[in-house]
Protein backbone atom coordinates (compact mmCIF):
# COMPACT_ATOMS: atom_id res chain seq x y z
CA UNK A 1 0.00 0.00 0.00
CA UNK A 2 2.94 2.37 0.55
CA UNK A 3 3.68 2.33 -3.19
CA UNK A 4 0.02 3.01 -3.99
CA UNK A 5 -0.13 5.80 -1.40
CA UNK A 6 2.94 7.45 -2.88
CA UNK A 7 1.44 7.26 -6.35
CA UNK A 8 -1.74 8.93 -5.14
CA UNK A 9 0.15 11.77 -3.49
CA UNK A 10 2.12 12.29 -6.69
CA UNK A 11 -1.10 12.07 -8.72
CA UNK A 12 -2.63 14.93 -6.74
CA UNK A 13 0.05 17.22 -8.16
CA UNK A 14 -0.66 16.29 -11.77
CA UNK A 15 -4.25 17.38 -12.32
CA UNK A 16 -7.64 15.69 -12.36
CA UNK A 17 -7.40 13.43 -15.42
CA UNK A 18 -3.99 11.97 -14.65
CA UNK A 19 -4.81 11.72 -10.96
CA UNK A 20 -7.89 9.60 -11.60
CA UNK A 21 -6.03 7.28 -13.98
CA UNK A 22 -3.15 6.75 -11.54
CA UNK A 23 -5.52 6.23 -8.63
CA UNK A 24 -7.56 3.61 -10.49
CA UNK A 25 -4.44 1.77 -11.63
CA UNK A 26 -3.02 1.87 -8.13
CA UNK A 27 -6.13 0.29 -6.67
CA UNK A 28 -6.71 -2.27 -9.40
CA UNK A 29 -4.68 -5.01 -7.74
CA UNK A 30 -2.87 -5.86 -10.99
CA UNK A 31 0.35 -7.77 -10.46
CA UNK A 32 3.58 -6.09 -11.53
CA UNK A 33 6.02 -8.07 -13.66
CA UNK A 34 9.54 -6.61 -13.28
CA UNK A 35 10.60 -8.34 -16.51
CA UNK A 36 7.96 -6.60 -18.57
CA UNK A 37 8.99 -3.91 -21.05
CA UNK A 38 7.04 -0.67 -21.00
CA UNK A 39 7.03 2.09 -23.58
CA UNK A 40 5.39 5.48 -23.41
CA UNK A 41 3.50 6.55 -26.54
CA UNK A 42 4.27 9.90 -28.11
CA UNK A 43 1.66 12.64 -27.99
CA UNK A 44 0.81 11.94 -31.65
CA UNK A 45 0.14 8.29 -30.84
CA UNK A 46 -2.38 8.99 -28.10
CA UNK A 47 -5.95 8.35 -29.23
CA UNK A 48 -8.38 10.76 -27.64
CA UNK A 49 -11.95 9.57 -27.35
CA UNK A 50 -14.56 12.08 -28.47
CA UNK A 51 -17.63 12.07 -26.25
CA UNK A 52 -20.86 13.36 -27.72
CA UNK A 53 -22.40 15.97 -25.39
CA UNK A 54 -25.30 14.50 -23.43
CA UNK A 55 -27.12 17.84 -23.20
CA UNK A 56 -27.98 20.52 -25.77
CA UNK A 57 -26.45 24.01 -25.73
CA UNK A 58 -29.90 25.46 -25.04
CA UNK A 59 -29.85 23.81 -21.60
CA UNK A 60 -26.47 25.33 -20.66
CA UNK A 61 -25.46 28.77 -19.40
CA UNK A 62 -22.53 28.65 -21.82
CA UNK A 63 -22.72 26.42 -24.94
CA UNK A 64 -20.55 23.32 -24.72
CA UNK A 65 -19.57 24.02 -21.12
CA UNK A 66 -20.80 22.77 -17.75
CA UNK A 67 -20.63 25.82 -15.49
CA UNK A 68 -20.21 24.68 -11.90
CA UNK A 69 -20.76 26.86 -8.86
CA UNK A 70 -19.04 25.99 -5.60
CA UNK A 71 -17.86 27.63 -2.42
CA UNK A 72 -14.16 28.31 -3.00
CA UNK A 73 -13.58 28.85 0.74
CA UNK A 74 -14.60 25.27 1.54
CA UNK A 75 -11.14 23.69 1.81
CA UNK A 76 -10.17 21.00 0.98
CA UNK A 77 -13.24 20.51 -1.21
CA UNK A 78 -12.54 23.74 -3.11
CA UNK A 79 -9.62 26.12 -2.62
CA UNK A 80 -6.92 28.06 -4.41
CA UNK A 81 -3.40 26.70 -4.57
CA UNK A 82 -0.19 28.73 -4.21
CA UNK A 83 -0.47 29.85 -7.84
CA UNK A 84 -4.07 30.98 -7.49
CA UNK A 85 -5.48 27.99 -9.38
CA UNK A 86 -8.74 26.44 -8.25
CA UNK A 87 -8.23 22.95 -6.86
CA UNK A 88 -9.84 20.46 -4.48
CA UNK A 89 -12.02 17.36 -4.40
CA UNK A 90 -15.21 19.08 -5.59
CA UNK A 91 -13.26 20.71 -8.42
CA UNK A 92 -11.91 17.39 -9.67
CA UNK A 93 -15.32 15.74 -9.20
CA UNK A 94 -16.85 18.50 -11.35
CA UNK A 95 -14.22 17.93 -14.05
CA UNK A 96 -14.99 14.21 -14.06
CA UNK A 97 -18.71 14.98 -14.29
CA UNK A 98 -18.23 17.36 -17.22
CA UNK A 99 -15.97 14.86 -18.98
CA UNK A 100 -18.64 12.18 -18.62
CA UNK A 101 -21.14 14.57 -20.22
CA UNK A 102 -18.83 15.43 -23.11
CA UNK A 103 -18.53 19.05 -22.00
CA UNK A 104 -15.85 21.54 -21.03
CA UNK A 105 -16.00 22.85 -17.47
CA UNK A 106 -15.96 26.34 -15.95
CA UNK A 107 -16.26 27.45 -12.33
CA UNK A 108 -17.91 30.31 -10.48
CA UNK A 109 -17.77 31.11 -6.78
CA UNK A 110 -21.04 30.91 -4.86
CA UNK A 111 -22.00 30.33 -1.26
CA UNK A 112 -25.32 28.61 -1.96
CA UNK A 113 -27.34 26.86 -4.63
CA UNK A 114 -29.99 29.59 -4.46
CA UNK A 115 -27.63 32.44 -5.34
CA UNK A 116 -25.87 30.51 -8.10
CA UNK A 117 -28.77 28.83 -9.89
CA UNK A 118 -31.71 31.19 -9.51
CA UNK A 119 -29.74 33.99 -11.17
CA UNK A 120 -28.49 31.52 -13.82
CA UNK A 121 -24.83 32.14 -13.04
CA UNK A 122 -24.18 28.41 -13.23
CA UNK A 123 -25.72 25.15 -14.44
CA UNK A 124 -25.18 23.22 -11.21
CA UNK A 125 -24.00 23.82 -7.67
CA UNK A 126 -21.75 21.41 -5.75
CA UNK A 127 -21.89 21.84 -1.99
CA UNK A 128 -24.71 22.10 0.52
CA UNK A 129 -27.59 21.11 -1.74
CA UNK A 130 -30.26 22.30 0.69
CA UNK A 131 -32.27 25.20 -0.67
CA UNK A 132 -34.91 27.66 0.47
CA UNK A 133 -36.04 27.91 -3.13
CA UNK A 134 -38.48 25.23 -4.31
CA UNK A 135 -37.06 25.61 -7.83
CA UNK A 136 -33.80 23.89 -6.81
CA UNK A 137 -33.50 20.10 -7.08
CA UNK A 138 -30.96 17.76 -5.51
CA UNK A 139 -29.38 15.64 -8.25
CA UNK A 140 -27.31 13.33 -6.07
CA UNK A 141 -24.45 13.05 -3.59
CA UNK A 142 -20.74 13.26 -4.33
CA UNK A 143 -19.18 13.26 -0.84
CA UNK A 144 -19.85 12.05 2.70
CA UNK A 145 -18.58 13.78 5.83
CA UNK A 146 -18.80 13.17 9.59
CA UNK A 147 -17.01 13.72 12.90
CA UNK A 148 -14.29 11.08 12.75
CA UNK A 149 -11.44 9.52 14.69
CA UNK A 150 -7.85 9.42 13.40
CA UNK A 151 -5.04 7.47 15.03
CA UNK A 152 -1.38 6.58 14.69
CA UNK A 153 -0.02 3.17 13.76
CA UNK A 154 3.73 2.58 13.51
CA UNK A 155 3.42 -0.72 11.63
CA UNK A 156 0.67 0.24 9.20
CA UNK A 157 -1.95 -2.00 10.82
CA UNK A 158 -5.62 -1.15 10.55
CA UNK A 159 -6.76 0.68 13.68
CA UNK A 160 -10.00 -0.10 15.47
CA UNK A 161 -11.30 1.64 18.59
CA UNK A 162 -14.43 1.71 20.70
CA UNK A 163 -16.06 4.47 22.73
CA UNK A 164 -14.68 2.70 25.79
CA UNK A 165 -11.14 2.96 24.37
CA UNK A 166 -11.62 6.65 23.64
CA UNK A 167 -12.82 7.28 27.18
CA UNK A 168 -9.44 6.22 28.55
CA UNK A 169 -7.35 8.04 25.92
CA UNK A 170 -6.08 11.59 25.42
CA UNK A 171 -7.93 13.17 22.52
CA UNK A 172 -6.81 16.08 20.36
CA UNK A 173 -9.64 18.38 19.26
CA UNK A 174 -10.05 21.85 17.85
CA UNK A 175 -11.24 24.40 20.40
CA UNK A 176 -15.00 25.07 20.42
CA UNK A 177 -15.55 22.61 17.59
CA UNK A 178 -18.36 20.42 16.37
CA UNK A 179 -16.19 17.41 17.25
CA UNK A 180 -16.38 18.33 20.92
CA UNK A 181 -20.15 18.34 20.56
CA UNK A 182 -19.98 14.91 18.88
CA UNK A 183 -17.93 13.54 21.79
CA UNK A 184 -20.47 14.92 24.27
CA UNK A 185 -23.33 13.26 22.35
CA UNK A 186 -21.53 9.93 22.70
CA UNK A 187 -20.92 10.56 26.43
CA UNK A 188 -17.18 10.38 25.85
CA UNK A 189 -15.61 12.28 28.72
CA UNK A 190 -11.96 11.54 27.95
CA UNK A 191 -9.12 13.95 28.60
CA UNK A 192 -9.17 16.50 25.78
CA UNK A 193 -6.24 18.60 24.63
CA UNK A 194 -7.50 21.52 22.59
CA UNK A 195 -5.72 23.23 19.71
CA UNK A 196 -6.49 26.27 17.57
CA UNK A 197 -6.78 24.23 14.38
CA UNK A 198 -6.76 20.68 13.02
CA UNK A 199 -3.21 20.98 11.73
CA UNK A 200 -1.92 21.37 15.29
CA UNK A 201 -4.05 18.40 16.38
CA UNK A 202 -2.37 16.17 13.81
CA UNK A 203 1.10 17.41 14.75
CA UNK A 204 0.31 16.43 18.35
CA UNK A 205 -0.88 13.01 17.21
CA UNK A 206 2.26 12.46 15.16
CA UNK A 207 4.50 13.41 18.10
CA UNK A 208 2.58 11.23 20.58
CA UNK A 209 1.20 14.13 22.59
CA UNK A 210 -2.34 12.79 22.04
CA UNK A 211 -3.62 9.27 21.35
CA UNK A 212 -6.30 10.17 18.80
CA UNK A 213 -7.62 13.19 16.94
CA UNK A 214 -11.34 13.84 16.62
CA UNK A 215 -12.18 16.09 13.67
CA UNK A 216 -14.14 16.59 10.49
CA UNK A 217 -13.45 13.56 8.28
CA UNK A 218 -12.61 15.43 5.08
CA UNK A 219 -10.14 17.78 6.78
CA UNK A 220 -8.65 14.84 8.65
CA UNK A 221 -8.42 12.61 5.60
CA UNK A 222 -6.74 15.38 3.61
CA UNK A 223 -4.06 15.87 6.27
CA UNK A 224 -3.62 12.17 7.09
CA UNK A 225 -2.66 11.33 3.51
CA UNK A 226 0.49 13.43 4.01
CA UNK A 227 1.44 11.46 7.16
CA UNK A 228 2.45 7.86 6.62
CA UNK A 229 1.59 6.64 10.12
CA UNK A 230 -1.72 8.47 10.58
CA UNK A 231 -4.94 6.83 9.41
CA UNK A 232 -8.71 7.05 9.59
CA UNK A 233 -10.26 4.93 12.36
CA UNK A 234 -14.02 5.48 12.09
CA UNK A 235 -16.94 7.90 12.45
CA UNK A 236 -18.81 8.97 15.56
CA UNK A 237 -22.02 9.98 13.78
CA UNK A 238 -23.94 9.21 10.62
CA UNK A 239 -22.41 11.14 7.74
CA UNK A 240 -23.80 14.31 6.21
CA UNK A 241 -23.48 14.84 2.46
CA UNK A 242 -22.06 17.18 -0.13
CA UNK A 243 -24.61 17.29 -2.91
CA UNK A 244 -25.11 18.37 -6.51
CA UNK A 245 -28.04 20.69 -7.21
CA UNK A 246 -29.68 21.98 -10.36
CA UNK A 247 -32.57 24.19 -11.43
CA UNK A 248 -35.74 22.06 -11.39
CA UNK A 249 -37.18 23.76 -14.48
CA UNK A 250 -34.15 22.68 -16.54
CA UNK A 251 -35.28 19.07 -16.81
CA UNK A 252 -32.90 18.15 -19.64
CA UNK A 253 -29.82 19.27 -17.73
CA UNK A 254 -30.96 17.77 -14.42
CA UNK A 255 -31.48 14.35 -16.01
CA UNK A 256 -28.13 14.50 -17.82
CA UNK A 257 -26.21 15.52 -14.69
CA UNK A 258 -27.95 12.91 -12.56
CA UNK A 259 -27.12 10.18 -15.08
CA UNK A 260 -23.50 11.34 -15.33
CA UNK A 261 -23.15 11.43 -11.55
CA UNK A 262 -24.51 7.90 -11.34
CA UNK A 263 -22.04 6.88 -14.04
CA UNK A 264 -18.88 8.22 -12.37
CA UNK A 265 -20.05 6.74 -9.07
CA UNK A 266 -20.70 3.25 -10.43
CA UNK A 267 -17.53 3.00 -12.55
CA UNK A 268 -15.28 4.02 -9.65
CA UNK A 269 -14.16 7.39 -11.02
CA UNK A 270 -15.58 9.35 -8.10
CA UNK A 271 -14.02 7.00 -5.57
CA UNK A 272 -10.66 7.30 -7.33
CA UNK A 273 -10.84 11.11 -7.11
CA UNK A 274 -11.80 10.71 -3.43
CA UNK A 275 -8.70 8.55 -2.86
CA UNK A 276 -6.45 11.22 -4.36
CA UNK A 277 -7.72 13.88 -1.96
CA UNK A 278 -8.50 11.88 1.19
CA UNK A 279 -6.07 8.96 0.96
CA UNK A 280 -7.17 5.65 2.45
CA UNK A 281 -10.27 7.05 4.13
CA UNK A 282 -13.24 5.13 2.64
CA UNK A 283 -15.66 6.90 0.32
CA UNK A 284 -18.57 5.28 2.17
CA UNK A 285 -18.09 6.45 5.74
CA UNK A 286 -20.83 4.14 7.01
CA UNK A 287 -18.50 1.22 6.29
CA UNK A 288 -16.41 1.87 9.40
CA UNK A 289 -17.80 3.42 12.56
CA UNK A 290 -16.46 3.55 16.10
CA UNK A 291 -17.63 0.54 18.06
CA UNK A 292 -20.19 1.52 20.70
CA UNK A 293 -21.05 4.83 19.06
CA UNK A 294 -24.72 5.68 18.77
CA UNK A 295 -24.71 6.46 15.06
CA UNK A 296 -27.92 8.27 14.12
CA UNK A 297 -28.97 10.12 10.99
CA UNK A 298 -27.40 13.54 10.77
CA UNK A 299 -29.55 16.66 10.66
CA UNK A 300 -26.96 18.40 8.48
CA UNK A 301 -26.43 17.80 4.78
CA UNK A 302 -23.17 19.61 4.38
CA UNK A 303 -19.67 19.36 5.75
CA UNK A 304 -18.34 21.85 8.26
CA UNK A 305 -14.84 22.70 7.12
CA UNK A 306 -13.22 26.10 7.45
CA UNK A 307 -11.42 27.88 4.67
CA UNK A 308 -7.68 28.18 4.41
CA UNK A 309 -8.06 31.92 3.86
CA UNK A 310 -9.87 32.25 7.19
CA UNK A 311 -7.06 30.38 8.93
CA UNK A 312 -4.38 32.52 7.35
CA UNK A 313 -6.11 35.76 8.30
CA UNK A 314 -7.28 34.78 11.81
CA UNK A 315 -4.47 36.17 13.93
CA UNK A 316 -6.52 37.67 16.73
CA UNK A 317 -6.40 34.56 18.89
CA UNK A 318 -10.13 33.99 18.85
CA UNK A 319 -11.28 30.40 18.72
CA UNK A 320 -13.31 29.29 15.72
CA UNK A 321 -16.99 28.67 16.25
CA UNK A 322 -18.40 25.13 16.40
CA UNK A 323 -19.67 25.42 12.85
CA UNK A 324 -16.19 26.12 11.49
CA UNK A 325 -14.19 23.00 12.09
CA UNK A 326 -11.45 21.55 9.97
CA UNK A 327 -8.97 24.33 9.34
CA UNK A 328 -6.58 23.61 6.47
CA UNK A 329 -3.65 26.01 6.44
CA UNK A 330 -1.96 27.52 3.40
CA UNK A 331 1.14 25.50 4.26
CA UNK A 332 -0.75 22.24 3.79
CA UNK A 333 -2.17 23.39 0.48
CA UNK A 334 1.36 24.26 -0.66
CA UNK A 335 2.58 20.79 0.33
CA UNK A 336 0.04 19.31 -2.04
CA UNK A 337 1.29 21.33 -4.96
CA UNK A 338 5.01 21.33 -4.22
Per-position b or e across 327-338, b if 16+ CB within 10 A of its CB:
bbbbebbeebee
Residue 113: alpha-carbon gap to chain centroid: 19
Using DSSP's 3-state secondary structure scheme, residue 166 falls into: helix
Give the separation between CA 308 and CA 137, rounded to whole angstroms.
29
pTM of the model: 0.75
C-beta of residue 237 within 8 angstroms of C-beta of residue 185: yes
> 218 to each of 9, 133, 152, 190, how far by Cα in Å?
16, 28, 17, 23
Instruction: Per-residue pLDDT tens, the chain, 338 aa: give them.
Output: 333 333 333 344 444 444 444 443 333 334 445 455 566 666 565 555 667 899 999 999 999 999 999 999 888 999 988 888 899 999 999 999 999 999 999 999 998 888 889 888 999 999 876 666 688 999 999 999 999 999 998 765 678 889 999 999 999 999 989 999 999 999 999 999 999 999 999 999 999 999 999 999 999 999 999 898 999 999 999 998 889 999 999 999 999 999 999 999 999 999 999 999 999 899 989 878 888 887 765 444 433 333 333 333 333 333 333 334 555 555 555 444 44
Amino acid sequence: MDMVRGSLMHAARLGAGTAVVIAVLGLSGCAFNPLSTFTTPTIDQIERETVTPTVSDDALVTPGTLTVALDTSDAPQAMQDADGNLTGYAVDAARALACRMGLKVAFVDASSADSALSDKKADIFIGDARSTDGDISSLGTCLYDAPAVFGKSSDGESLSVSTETLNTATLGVQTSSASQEALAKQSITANQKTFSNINECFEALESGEVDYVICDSTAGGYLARLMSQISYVGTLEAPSTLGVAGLSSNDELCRAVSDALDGITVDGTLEAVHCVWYGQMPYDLTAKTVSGANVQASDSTSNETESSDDDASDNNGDSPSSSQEGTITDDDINKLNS
